[in-house]
Chain A
Amino acid sequence: MGQIQLKQVTKSFGDVQVIPPLDLTIEDGEFTVFVGPSGCGKSTLLRLIAGLEDITTGHIEIDGTDATDLVPAKRGLAMVFQSYALYPHMSVRKNIAFPLRMAKMDKAEIDRRVNAAAEVLNLADYIDRRPGQLSGGQRQRVAIGRAIVREPSAFLFDEPLSNLDAALRVGMRMEISELHKKLATTMVYVTHDQVEAMTMADKIVVLQAGVIEQVGSPLELYRTPRNTFVAGFIGSPKMNLITGEEAAKHDAATIGIRPEHIDVVESGGTWTGTVGVAEHLGSDTFFHIHNTGLAETITVRAIGDVNLTHGDTIQLTPRMDELHRFDADGLRIG
């Protein structure tokens, strides 16, 4: 079991309120990702759930019981930190066994669980090494191992992959996703990387300045962003947000169209512009286009290798059925 409920939770540091009243339910077994730009309060929110920070007002319930005043260890949660936070003076085995030792578990059971975790995470060969002798990816596995052995009701991940290089990050991303499928335990994951959010989450919580902008599945957020912030934040490359006359034509203050929903056409395009930068990735080509008569630079994603470069004229047609409309407050229309 691992349902987590936040009820009217607020957090202030001194006079500064970083989390205004917030309600959120994380269902048992769900992989929930908190995503948002730096300083949006996502890590603070995770630390409030963990109990590492005290909430200012409101309640936190874990599995239906009030955990607001419980110390971190009594909440039945395990956390994986960005810096791994391994105990440098202990071997991998002792690191993983530490929470079990603190729980005064008997030695045979500790050994059984540590060995099982080491097996699952491919750490058996390094079990007697110190963290300093391990690579970044191995350290992260040890940190996860230390979380797993406690058999917590939920895992909390605080940007666990941001210290790893790009290739390793993709690998670990999949490992964590697979772990979630295997254990079917609630996971709450904080990241500023929307690709991680999209690929891993069952449910994404988009935060800005401590406020939840939208909660939904990755595809819900992609297809129907509630406002211009979510529209701009979710999806890569970013959605084109166009204001002014072009938006007014569609009875909106802002219209949004994703780069992959604009077609490059030979003739008769809605917009004509010149290519500023062309990024050829092989599988896709990203064009950044100026001089379209719109105030904004337009980004277009074309499938495959399209042979246009800097300075070439290009004609574009947005797919009208994929157009998003927003009012003057930035909220979605329709």
Chain B
Amino acid sequence: MARSVTPRRKLLNTTVAWAIGLLIFFPILWTILTSFKSEAEAIAAPPIFLGFDWTLENYRIVMERSDYGRFLWNSIIIAGLSTILGCIIAVPAAWSMAFVPSKRTKDILLWMLSTKMLPAVGVLYPIYLLFIKMGLLDSRAGLVVVLMLINLPIIVWMLYTYFKEIPGEILEAARMDGATLRQELIYVLTPMAIPGIASTLLLNFILAWNEAFWTLNLTAVNAAPLTAFIASYSSPEGLFFAKLSAASTMAIAPILILGWFSQKQLVRGLTFGAVK
């Protein structure tokens, strides 16, 4: 018998789902609300939820004090290029692991993933020294490489999983039909894996955009992305919650909007292959 859902049960489920959703979203909502308050209202006790004087003053001050456009541009360049570079390296890697695996393929995949288990701070010192030696400190190129490398295991794993879903016989059929390796990748594999590739790129872009440890430690002025822009409002004059919130809102807005519009794609990509 199919499990029946009574209207009351359905209402309860919906309410609980919304409650959990709001709970998770609350910090972001609070940040956005705080950005429209005065500094006094921002730290008022008890906290004021909606009944405050809405003001754009914080945004004006933040825009005046720092060059938002430059931070934004750096974020776009760093997240974008590291994603593209990662994809160029990961697609052939995942292809070979999925379709011409060797005895060690599984080991390599696990080893790649194991690098994600290392706390980043553990390798900060050697990487910092390398960056000094190579003159990459506070450069976008350096950050592009580092972010690409730290996200590469995830890209390879995700693409590998999507490629694994594609039956090998289809690629063999293409080979029988006279497709060269290049044609096989272009006409058969890639179109079939597009949802997977797209969601991988999207997720990687979001991860790179939000990455704070390396972007804060390896940049100062020139290459600083939006994470550094936010951080600059938590110091050195002490905490100014309203301005910090305004800066945060400005930093997360682009990625939030991107995520909102592509959520369908993202969810489909992340659950790809879960149900046949």
A binding-site residues for B, Cβ under 8 Å: 50, 52, 71-73, 77-79, 81-83, 85-89, 98-99, 102-103, 146, 150
Asked if B169 and A102 sit within 8 Å, CB to CB, the answer is no
Q: A81-B169, A83-B167 are in contact. Are A72 and B192 (CB under 8 A)?
A: no
CA distance A89 to B174 in the complex (A): 13
**Contact residues of B: prevailing secondary structure:** helix
**Do A85 and B192 form a contact, CB below 8 Å, given A52-B175, A52-B176?**
no
A85 pairs with B167, CB closer than 8 A: yes
Across the interface, do A71 and B172 meet the contact criterion of CB distance under 8 Å? no
Chain B residues contacting A52 (CB-CB under 8 Å) are: 172, 175-176
Chain A hits for B176, CB < 8 A: 50, 52, 72-73, 77-79, 99
CA distance A231 to B170 in the complex (A): 37
Given the interface pairs A102-B177, A103-B178, the reply to whether A89 lies near B167 with Cβ below 8 Å is: no
State the total of A-B contacts with C-beta under 8 angstroms.
56
Which residues of chain B have a CB within 8 Å of any CB of chain A?
167, 169-170, 172-179, 183, 187-188, 191-192
Q: 12 interchain pairs (CB within 8 A)?
A: A73-B178, A77-B176, A81-B169, A82-B169, A85-B169, A86-B173, A87-B170, A89-B191, A98-B187, A99-B176, A99-B178, A103-B178
Nearest chain A CB to B268 CB, angstrom units: 15
Point out the residues of chain A lying under 8 angstroms from B170, CB to CB. Answer: 85-88
Contact A72–B175 (Cβ < 8 Å):
yes
Interface contact A71-B175, CB-CB below 8 Å: yes
Q: Which 5 A-B pairs have the closest CB atoms?
A: A73-B178, A99-B177, A102-B178, A85-B173, A85-B169
Which B residues are in CB contact (< 8 Å) with A83?
Answer: 167, 169
Main secondary structure of the interface of A (DSSP, over half): loop
Residues of B within 8 A of A150 (CB): 177
CB distance from A212 to the nearest CB of B (A): 25
Bound Cα distance A79, B176 (Å): 7
User: Are the C-beta atoms of A81 and B173 separated by less than 8 Å?
Assistant: yes
Q: Are B178 and A79 in contact, CB atoms less than 8 angstroms apart?
A: no
Complexed CA–CA distance, A71 and B184 (Å): 14
Which residue of A is nearest B170, CB measured?
A85
Chain A's nearest CB lies how many Å from the CB of B87?
A: 20
User: A127 CB to closest chain B CB, in angstroms?
Assistant: 18
Residue among B172, B178, B191 with the most chain A CB within 10 A? B178
Give Cα A330–Cα B187 distance, bound, in whole angstroms. 52
Q: Is the CB of A98 within 8 A of B177?
A: yes
CB contacts (< 8 Å) of A81 on chain B: these are 169, 172-173
* Residue in A closest to B179 when the chains form the complex, CB atoms: A102
Do residues A79 and B191 form an inter-chain contact, with CB atoms below 8 A?
no
> What chain A residues lie within 8 Å of B187 (beta carbons)?
87, 98
Residues of B within 8 A of A79 (CB): 172-173, 176
Alpha-carbon distance A146/B188, docked complex (angstroms): 15
Of all chain B residues, the one with the shortest Cβ separation from A149 is B177
> Which residues of B are found within 8 Å of A78, using beta-carbon distances?
176
Residue of A nearest to B168 (CB): A85
Chain A residues positioned under 8 Å from B177 (CB to CB): 73, 98-99, 102, 146, 150
| Chain A residues within an 8 Å CB radius of B167 | 83, 85
Residue of B nearest to A77 (CB): B176
- Smallest CB–CB gap between B187 and chain A, Å? 8
Docked CA distance A103–B176 (Å): 11
> What's the nearest-Cβ distance from chain B to residue A105, in Å?
10
Q: How far is the CB of A100 from chain B (nearest CB, A)?
A: 9
The answer for the CA separation of A99 and B178 in the assembled complex, in Å, is 6
How long is the Cα–Cα vector from A52 to B170 in the complex, in angstroms? 12
Measured CA separation A102–B183 after assembly (Å): 8
Task: Please give, as numbers and ranges, the residues of chain A lying within 8 Å of B192 by CB-CB distance.
Answer: 87-89
A77 to B173, CA, bound (A): 11
Q: How far is the CA of A89 from the CA of B173 in the complex (A)?
A: 14
Interchain CB contact under 8 A, B179 and A87: no
Min Cβ gap B176→A in Å is 5
Who on chain B is nearest to A81 by CB? B169
Set of chain A residues within 8 Å of B172, measured between Cβ atoms: 52, 72, 79, 81, 85
> In the complex, what residues of A have CB within 8 A of residue B173's CB?
79, 81, 85-87, 146
Residues in A whose Cβ lies below 8 Å from that of B174: 87, 98
Q: How far apart sit A167 and B21, CA to CA, in the bound complex (Å)?
A: 51
Q: A73-B179, A87-B173 are in contact. List 10 more A-B contacts (CB 8 A).
A: A52-B175, A71-B175, A72-B176, A81-B173, A82-B169, A83-B169, A86-B173, A99-B176, A102-B178, A146-B173
